[in-house]
């Protein structure tokens, strides 16, 4: 097993990357061991660019990246021993079997365990003797996960791993990741725009839009603090309520979305509002509000 | 580095073998009309087949998005770059070794005795083809450098490739150089272009392809 050498699973500082018509950063982000961090954003937000910089597929214009304290220098392969990477495309040898591909990857990872890889493949119902070009998309994703975990890395980096998978395979993959993070040793950095994927897994969420982090928060805090509130209020032509980001009114009935429902409720009681009701929001609904730019002022990630 | 080269060769072995079978078939076709030419034709066909496959390999690897496999491997970019550049040359060297063996066996089988010039003809041809097998790889690296706005790299690479092909061509056409010297010059150019391909890959901004 690898031994993490530093506090953070990864640390990104001042990362900048520019393309024609798109600019990422400056981005600061870190991840502690044992934490599952979901990177959320619409297509083109910069999620894959961030991940590609992290795993050394892209050279940024500026910024420093470390993995368990080691800089992700392109010529120093040691930091790669601490990570497992699952992308949408993996570059496997298509005419080789699953076993041949895993053996190939294993030759380049000092901590590789054939037994571990076989065990995972078995658990996934992934035939070792099938050629990669005969595998379904779901089974290719399973192979990518087994190949990424065969050397027991402490940091798993996932870029849209469930894209295009049917619900059953998706659930299997998520179960596997759930088991993996239960031991509290693995850090997982999970990029997706399918929020239901990380609703169960993530401890923290980072929202990325137009190459900038717009919010980083604990998932439970987010779910706890965001509410839809309805109430009846006779007076008040103009209403200014703390935490409210959206307000609709039909005669005396008001419907608001609040990112700090406790503060909003307190203010409403002070105003003498009646028939106050509030309901939790799903992560999907919250994310939409945040990514629409309503959720929070722009802040740097911690 | 050699682990990567050998893996690629193992993966493409059937394609290489098929190329060699086609070369053998070509030599047999020639032998039907002129039996004496069989050994030399076999040797030269094997070299041409190997050089063709060697030139094609980088394209096939790129088509399979092989570079996306590198994040899974605890291996540095320099090693990957060297392996990519050396793989085509390795195929050519292997093909040349097979060609020399085939030519030698052909001479012996026909009872012609060993014709040293004939036996080494495949080596001379392989030397001349060495710069060409890097063309596909270099063309792609120049394309990537252009896309990444690495203008200095593009200019240096185009200049080096141009000079790399012009110098041996001029030497051959002028007839001033003896055959072994011309072959050595071509090998030196091939080696330089291999280093250039490796360096250009290491200087890339993006490895995603």
**Which segment of A65-79, A126-140, B105-119 scores lowest on mean pLDDT?**
B105-119
> Is A33's pLDDT higher than 80?
yes
The residues, any chain, with a CB within 8 Å of residue A266's CB and separated by 6 or more, are none
Q: What's the confidence (pLDDT) of residue A302?
A: 34
* Same-domain status, A73 and A214: yes
Mark whether A67 and A114 lie in a shared domain: yes
**Does residue A253 sit within a domain?**
yes
pLDDT range class, residue A298, cuts 50, 70, 90: very low
Nearest-Cα residue of chain B relative to residue A95: B11
HEC string for B153-168 = HHHHHHHHHHHHHHHH
Q: Are residue A97 and residue A122 in the same domain, yes or no?
A: yes
Q: Is residue A69 domain-resident?
A: yes
**Which residue's entry shows tokens 């509000």?**
A289
**Is pLDDT at A277 greater than 60 in this prediction?**
yes
Q: What is the spatial distance between Cα A142 and Cα A136, in angstroms, rounded to a whole number?
A: 10
**CB within 8 Å of chain A, chain B residues 77-96:** 77-79
A268 and A159 within one domain: no
A45/A158 same-domain check: yes
ipTM for the assembly: 0.84
pLDDT of residue A236: 62
- State the best of A52, A74, A109 to mutate against chain B, taking most chain B CBs within 10 Å: A74
How high is the pLDDT of residue B24? Answer: 87
* Arithmetic mean of pLDDT, B8-21: 92
Give the containing element (helix H, strand E) for B45: helix B38-63
Least confident of A211-220, B40-49, B183-192: B183-192
* Rounded Cα distance, A230 and A253, in Å: 7
- For tokens 């590609």, the residue is A52
Q: How do residues A249-265 score in pLDDT, each as one tens digit?
A: 888 888 999 999 999 99
Residue A265 shares a structural domain with residue A124: no
- Determine the pLDDT at residue A193: 78
Q: How far is CA A179 from each of CA A161, A174, A175, A182, A183, rounded to the nearest angstrom?
A: 16, 9, 6, 5, 8
Give the single-character DSSP code of A229: E
The residue-averaged pLDDT of A58-63 equals: 92
**A23 and A48 together in one domain:** yes
Domain boundary among the residues A218, A236, A268 is at A218
Res A2: pLDDT: 45
**Do the beta carbons of residue B65 and residue B209 sit within 8 Å?**
yes
The fraction of chain B above a pLDDT of 90, given in percent, is: 41
Q: Report whether pLDDT(A155) > 60.
A: yes
pLDDT of A200 reads: 80
Q: Residue A36's pLDDT is what?
A: 92
Mutate to test the interface with B, among A53, A67, A90, A93 (most CBs of B within 10 A): A93
Residues A183 and A271 in one domain: no
pLDDT in tens, B62-79: 999 998 898 999 999 999
The mean per-residue pLDDT over the stretch B40-57 comes to 91
Average pLDDT over every residue of A165-185: 81
> What are B125's two structure tokens?
């041809």
Q: Which long-range contacts (CB under 8 A, 24 or more apart) does B6-11 make?
A: B7/A93, B7/A104, B8/B57, B8/B61, B8/B83, B8/B87, B9/B87, B9/B90, B9/B91, B9/B94, B11/A93, B11/A95, B11/A96
Interface of A with B (CB under 8 A): 52, 55-59, 74-78, 80-81, 83-85, 87, 89-96, 104-105, 107-110, 147-148, 151
- The alpha carbon of residue A15 is apart from the nearest alpha carbon of chain B, in Å, by 14
Residues of chain A found within 8 Å of residue B77, distances taken between Cβ atoms? 56, 74-75
Determine the pLDDT at residue B38: 81
Q: What pLDDT is recorded for position B37? A: 79
- The pLDDT assigned to B120 comes to 82
Least confident among B7-11, B41-45, B104-108: B104-108
| Residue with more model confidence, B179 or A244 | A244
Domain count, chain A: 2
pLDDT, residue B102, reads: 87
Characterize A158-192 residue by residue with b for buried, 16 or more Cβ atoms within 10 angstroms of its Cβ, and e for exposed.
Answer: bbbbbeebeeebbebbbebbeebbeeeebbbbbbb
B152: CB partners within 8 A, 6+ apart: none
Task: Give the B window 47-76 contacts with A, CB below 8 Å.
Answer: 64-76
- On whether both A263 and A156 belong to a single domain, the answer is no
Q: Which residues of B touch A52 (CB under 8 A)?
A: 206, 208
Query: Do A241 and A207 lie in a common domain?
Result: no
pLDDT of residue B171: 75
Q: Tell me: pLDDT of A70 over 50.
A: yes
What is the pLDDT at residue B48? 94
Quick: pLDDT tens for B125-184.
898 888 888 888 899 999 999 999 899 999 999 998 888 888 777 877 777 767 778 788
Nearest CA in chain A to B76: A75
CB of B13 within 8 Å of a chain A CB? The answer is: no
Alpha carbon distance A140, A155 (integer Å)? 21
Range of the domain at A245: 227-280
Nearest to A92 among B69, B71, B204 (CB): B69
Structure token pair of residue A40:
């959320």
Instruction: Taking residues B20-39, report their average pLDDT.
Output: 83
Pick from B3, B7, B205: CB nearest A59: B205
Domain of residue A135, CATH code? 3.40.50.300
Q: Indicate whether A172 belongs to any domain.
A: yes
Return mean pLDDT, chain B: 87
Claim to verify: residue A248 and residue A169 sit in the same structural domain:
no
Percent of chain A with pLDDT over 70: 93
C-alpha distance from A152 to closest chain B C-alpha (Å): 12
- Collect all residues of chain A within an 8 Å Cβ-Cβ radius of residue B75: 77, 80, 108
The pLDDT score that the predictor gives to residue A301 is: 36
pLDDT-based confidence at A237, cuts 50/70/90? low
Nearest Cα residue to B142 out of B133, B152, B130: B152
Based on the fold, state whether residues A144 and A18 are members of the same structural domain: yes
């Amino acid at each position: 097993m690898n031994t993490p050498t530093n506090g953070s699973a990864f640390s990104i500082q001042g990362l900048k990357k520019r393309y024609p018509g798109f600019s990422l950063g400056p981005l600061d982000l870190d991840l502690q061991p044992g934490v599952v961090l979901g990177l959320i954003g619409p297509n083109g937000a910069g999620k894959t660019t961030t991940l590609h910089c992290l795993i050394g597929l892209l050279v940024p214009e500026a910024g420093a990246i470390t993995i368990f304290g080691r800089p992700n220098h392109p010529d120093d392969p040691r930091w790669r021993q601490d990570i497992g990477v699952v992308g949408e495309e993996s570059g496997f040898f298509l005419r080789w079997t699953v076993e041949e591909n895993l053996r190939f990857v294993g030759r380049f990872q000092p901590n590789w365990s054939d037994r571990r890889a076989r065990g995972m493949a078995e658990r996934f119902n992934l035939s070792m003797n099938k050629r990669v070009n005969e595998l379904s998309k779901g089974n290719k994703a399973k192979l990518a996960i087994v190949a990424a975990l065969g050397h027991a890395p402490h940091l798993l980096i996932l870029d849209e791993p469930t894209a295009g998978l049917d619900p059953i395979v998706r659930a299997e993959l998520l179960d596997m990741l759930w088991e993996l993070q239960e031991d509290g040793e693995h850090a997982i950095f999970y990029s997706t725009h399918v929020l239901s994927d990380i609703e169960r897994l993530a401890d923290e969420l980072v929202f990325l839009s137009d190459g900038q982090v717009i919010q980083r928060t604990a998932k439970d805090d987010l779910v706890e603090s965001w509410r839809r509130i309805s109430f009846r209020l006779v007076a008040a032509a103009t209403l200014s309520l703390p935490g409210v980001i959206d307000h609709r009114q039909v005669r005396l009935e008001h419907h608001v979305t609040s990112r700090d429902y406790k503060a909003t409720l307190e203010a409403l009681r002070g105003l003498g509002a009646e028939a106050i009701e509030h309901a939790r929001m799903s992560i999907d609904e919250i994310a939409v509000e945040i990514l629409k730019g309503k959720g929070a002022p722009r802040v740097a990630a911690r | 580095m050699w682990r990567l080269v050998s893996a690629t060769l193992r993966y493409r072995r059937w394609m290489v073998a098929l190329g060699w079978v086609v070369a053998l078939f070509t030599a047999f076709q020639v032998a039907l009309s002129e039996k004496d030419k069989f050994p030399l034709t076999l040797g030269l066909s094997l070299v041409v087949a190997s050089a063709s496959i060697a030139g094609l390999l980088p394209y096939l690897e790129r088509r399979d998005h092989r570079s996306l496999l590198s994040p899974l491997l605890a291996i540095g970019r320099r090693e990957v770059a060297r392996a990519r550049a050396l793989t085509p040359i390795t195929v050519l060297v292997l093909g040349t070794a097979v060609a020399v063996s085939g030519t030698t066996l052909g001479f012996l089988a026909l009872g012609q005795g060993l014709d040293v010039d004939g036996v080494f003809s495949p080596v001379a041809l392989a030397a001349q083809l060495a710069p060409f097998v890097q063309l596909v790889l270099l063309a792609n690296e120049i394309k990537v450098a252009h896309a990444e706005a690495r203008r200095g790299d593009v200019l240096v690479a185009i200049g080096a490739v141009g000079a790399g092909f012009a110098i041996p061509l001029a030497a051959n056409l002028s007839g001033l150089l003896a055959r072994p010297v011309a072959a050595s010059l071509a090998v030196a150019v091939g080696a330089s272009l291999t280093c250039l391909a490796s360096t250009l890959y290491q200087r890339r901004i993006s490895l995603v392809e």
